[in-house]
Structure 1
């Protein structure tokens, strides 16, 4: 006679702790009330479901005060947070803040759902299906529109805390262990290769994106516009990486973008530099006519000009 196997009951606290061993991205799920007021909450239960059709899901506690709103709205948006948006994550997770959107920059998307500015990506969805699952309700959404945003690293939740993917790299930058000469050499090698690839592979729309980033840099030249200038510069280089159509090099470029951000924010402040505007424009012009050597030469000239003038300013 077989003896019954004893199975211990799942202890909720340990269950939550062990689930935290799996790192997850962080998103803010948004929708609007019947009278058009934006609402949202922080969520790390977002997941992809299907490519054809494009389906994603998130789960919402049945006890959530927003459950009825999401059910009635029939649409929602998933806003993927960057590592610089950890404060937003905390804001939308707090039960003590009545109006989560107060002071938050956002815009209505094509479906009218709130899209939060400067996220890594946003997906606007219509509700495809909804299922009860224990103490949660699972919403499956069909993606109708999507947008890309910041080139920053993702905000990651791990073992009950936020984990910065580039934290070790940031430490090296702040401690001065990455020298300017080494960084410049890395930029020349990496982005020189990406520019050559982009001359062969980039679409006109991708070159347009590079030019738009150059435009944005020129628009943010005020003394109080440093954050916007840094984002525009990061977008300029990340757009070049995308145009090269090489996933391995694009991942390397993300690391270099993290270096750029940290140096410009904490080590070498990015002062307005209208003298280098023509050099970025030259990079774009050469890409348009598929002149790889011209584009690489313009990049090299850009780096040299930035460094030579930086040395002069530091010696004054």
Structure 2
């Protein structure tokens, strides 16, 4: 008996990458030497342990990488685990604009001759054990021959496209009340105003649908016990605008604002339902559909203004304040 083949939807590469970012990873610099002995390296967060007996680790490298040939030809490599204070090194070794990544970077050769970067949390020097092709990457498995420890700092962690140390610092600033309302409002207007303009040029119908779905969810979860769902829906409203803008640099900035948003809504400013501002979010969606950038930006500005006027009146009267995110 023949069974029908189940329908499977194509995997969206952008969403795939975004969801993979939900898994926090450490950051490492993988190093080796060229045939003529020059030290080379690149930033990587695909490092993983494989086996204890024998001690095996792996990392994966894009086939499009300019260093693929060097690592294929090398018989050894090193994994240098970065600390929080080495985030600049992470950016340096990830940049395609810096020809000599090791210029000005303190390092020493390990027993196998591979470059070990100073002040890392840990370094693993490996002999190549196996290499496997896998899609658009090559997987390098190394047998650990030598290990060393260095800094006692915390690890540099990558999460949802940003360093977690940044997210934790922002959380502390929010909880301690060091981020002022006026500054946050200006940041929202500037960042999401630009993203709305870009979305009017670049957003697909499906991306606008996602923004509208978040608006629907905000309006559905107005009961007092629905606050967590309302917070998530509000965060989704802004993150959907971000995705519709199709700008990776602004997306990273928007993730920072989302961290601020969640912490303020959860821990700092009491929330209450605001059905009076529902039409403004609807106007944002409508303007995106008709590609009216000025209308969309104006609606967002009105939303912020209305909520802040209300907040001022409530503060003067001794009542709770209301965040712009509600």
User: What band does the TM-score fall into relative to the shorter chain?
Assistant: 0.5 to 0.7
- Tell me how far apart the structure 2 counterparts of residues 107 and 19 of structure 1 sit (CA, whole Å): 34
| 1:5-62 deviation line (CA, Å, top 9, x unaligned) | 2110011111000000000000000000111110000000000000010000000111
TM-score (norm 2): 0.51
Superposition deviation, residue 163 in structure 1:
0.6
Superposition deviation, residue 73 in structure 1:
1.3
Task: Name the count of aligned residue pairs.
Answer: 176
Superposition deviation, residue 171 in structure 1:
4.2
Where do 4+ consecutive residues of structure 1 move more than 4 Å? 168-172
- 8 Å Cα contact 1:29-1:79 kept in structure 2: yes
- Tell me how far apart the structure 1 counterparts of residues 167 and 95 of structure 2 sit (CA, whole Å): 26
TM-score (norm 1): 0.53
Asked if residue 34 in structure 1 is aligned to residue 41 in structure 2, the reply is: no
Asked if residue 21 in structure 1 is aligned to residue 26 in structure 2, the reply is: no
- 8 Å Cα contact 1:55-1:141 kept in structure 2: yes
Asked if residue 110 in structure 1 is aligned to residue 111 in structure 2, the reply is: yes
SS at the partner of 2:54?
coil
2:44 maps to 43
SS at the partner of 1:164?
helix
- 8 Å Cα contact 1:156-1:165 kept in structure 2: no
2:194 maps to none
| 1:245-292 deviation line (CA, Å, top 9, x unaligned) | xxxxxxxxxxxxxxxxxxxxxxxxxxxxxxxxxxxxxxxxxxxxxxxx
- Tell me how far apart the structure 1 counterparts of residues 165 and 172 of structure 2 sit (CA, whole Å): 11
2:281 maps to none
Change (3 A) 1:18 1:124: same
Q: What does 1:234-253 correspond to in 2, within 5 Å?
A: none
- Tell me how far apart the structure 2 counterparts of residues 121 and 166 of structure 1 sit (CA, whole Å): 24
Q: What does 1:83-98 correspond to in 2, within 5 Å?
A: 83-98=84-99
SS at the partner of 2:91?
helix
- Tell me how far apart the structure 2 counterparts of residues 85 and 149 of structure 1 sit (CA, whole Å): 12
Unaligned runs of 5+ in 1: 176-316
Give me the CA root mean square deviation. Answer: 2.4
Between Structure 1 and Structure 2, whose CA radius of gyration is higher? Answer: 2
